[in-house]
């Protein structure tokens, strides 16, 4: 078995830890920081403790709060110009996946020529970017420990993946105090995003023992804590466990990549601007059903990790339990059981199939996948047709 595992990101976990970033930067003799976030984060006051810490340590700040959902190349390149004008030497991302992906793109394009879309694919970035620290405010994307950023091409409505070891953040800070007030719908969408990452990573053709160990632990933790974060909300232990689980899932798929859920869901974001986590959650049972014949043993592992009773069952029947567990979880979190209800229009079916097949995730999906398979998965998901 030949494989490599590489994770250069330093991870710090602790309640209130985001309020000490000023001390961190002062020790590193940094005098100016460029914060990338969105206006919702800024308006909610989530930056307050971070800004106070920077001020107390005499570190000046410029804030770029023009992050958009499903960030496009234009928003990233605009951030690059703002960073150049700022003169800051460090980037600090505070927010969810869109803020982190934007910050990754901005940081890397400070040291590379052209447009971020010029680097679509694997390993095309030539130079490391400026240092990036990430403070996630959702528990879902795992982007804080991955070597990729997803960028929408506004002209083609295609979500391009840029993948390079240079995209790993230098440091990640997990502070559950920042996500206690997360709205229920975002808690659900981002939590199911993390579960999708873990499940697709675990079953990927390029998974390895390290990535699978991280993925299965993430599945266990998400299954144990996601309902508490959704129904209670202010339980710091569950919030922190979800942050850690999301990071574990990210650390897993940073090596193994993903599968058909992401191949398809990225097209939903590009064409319909559907939030990524909701797209993943609604698609997940349908892709799991498609994949079951190719990896029943791994699906049985997932069922067990999700707390299902699989004693005495064949691997195939135990694997069905994993699909049923995801369906029940979606129902509990008020996530639709079909993609029609989230805004998918089958008038665009040919483009959705074409763009999905363009994704490298199709190649590492556990079951061999052709264009007609993608089409059928989308149709099944549109009509809410499952046969488990």
- Per residue in 55-81, pLDDT (tens digit) is 999 999 999 999 998 899 999 999 999
Low-confidence ranges of the chain (pLDDT < 70): none
Confidence (pLDDT) at 384: 95
Going along the chain from its start, the domains and CATH numbers come out as: 10-179 (3.40.50.1970), 184-383 (1.20.1090.10)
- Predicted confidence at residue 2, as pLDDT, reads 84
Cα torsion 339, 342, 347, 349: sign: negative
| pTM, two decimal places | 0.95
Query: Both tokens of residue 101?
Result: 């992906």
- CA angle 145–151–157, rounded 5-degree value: 145
- Report the pLDDT value the prediction gives residue 214, as an integer from 0 to 100: 98
| Chain-centroid distance, C-alpha 38 | 17
Q: Which residues contact 113 (CB under 8 A, 6 or more apart)?
A: none
User: What pLDDT score was predicted for residue 268?
Assistant: 94
**Token pair belonging to 113:** 């020529």
pLDDT at 236: 96
The confidence score (pLDDT) of residue 158 equals 86
Residue 348: its pLDDT value, please? 96
Please give the Cα distance from 369 to 357 (Å, whole number): 9
């Amino acid at each position: 078995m030949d494989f490599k595992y590489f994770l250069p990101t330093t991870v710090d976990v602790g309640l209130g830890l985001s309020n000490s970033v000023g001390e961190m930067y002062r020790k590193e003799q940094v005098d100016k920081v460029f914060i990338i976030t969105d206006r919702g984060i800024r308006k909610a006051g989530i930056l307050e403790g971070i800004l106070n810490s920077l001020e107390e340590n005499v570190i000046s700040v410029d804030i770029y709060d023009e992050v958009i959902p499903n960030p496009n190349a234009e928003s990233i390149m605009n951030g690059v110009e703002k960073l150049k004008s700022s003169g800051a030497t460090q980037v600090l991302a505070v927010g969810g996946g869109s803020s982190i992906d934007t910050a990754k793109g901005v940081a890397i394009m400070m040291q590379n020529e052209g447009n971020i879309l010029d680097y679509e694919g694997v390993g095309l970035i030539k130079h490391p970017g400026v240092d990036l620290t990430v403070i996630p405010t959702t528990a879902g994307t795992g982007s804080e420990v991955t070597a990729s950023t997803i960028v929408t091409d506004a002209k083609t409505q295609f979500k391009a993946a840029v993948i390079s070891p240079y995209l790993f953040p230098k440091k990640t800070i997990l502070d559950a105090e920042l996500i206690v007030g997360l709205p229920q719908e975002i808690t659900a969408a981002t939590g199911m995003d993390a579960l999708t990452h873990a499940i697709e990573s675990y079953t990927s053709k390029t998974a390895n023992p390290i990535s699978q160990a991280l993925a299965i632990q993430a599945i266990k933790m998400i299954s144990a804590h996601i309902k508490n974060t959704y129904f209670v909300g202010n339980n710091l232990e569950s919030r922190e466990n979800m942050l850690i689980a999301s990071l574990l899932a990210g650390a897993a798929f940073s090596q193994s990549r993903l599968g058909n859920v992401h191949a398809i869901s990225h097209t939903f974001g590009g064409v319909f601007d559907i939030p990524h986590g909701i797209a993943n959650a609604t698609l997940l049972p349908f892709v799991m059903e498609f994949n079951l014949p190719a990896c029943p043993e791994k699906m049985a592992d997932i069922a067990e990790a999700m707390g299902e009773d699989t004693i005495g069952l064949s691997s195939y029947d135990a694997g069905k339990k994993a699909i049923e567990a995801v369906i029940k979880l979606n129902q509990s979190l008020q996530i639709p059981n079909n993609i029609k209800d989230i805004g998918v229009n089958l008038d665009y079916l040919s483009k959705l199939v074409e763009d999905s097949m363009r994704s490298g995730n199709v190649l590492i999906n556990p079951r061999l996948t052709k264009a007609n398979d993608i089409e059928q998965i989308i149709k099944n998901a549109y009509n809410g047709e499952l046969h488990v």
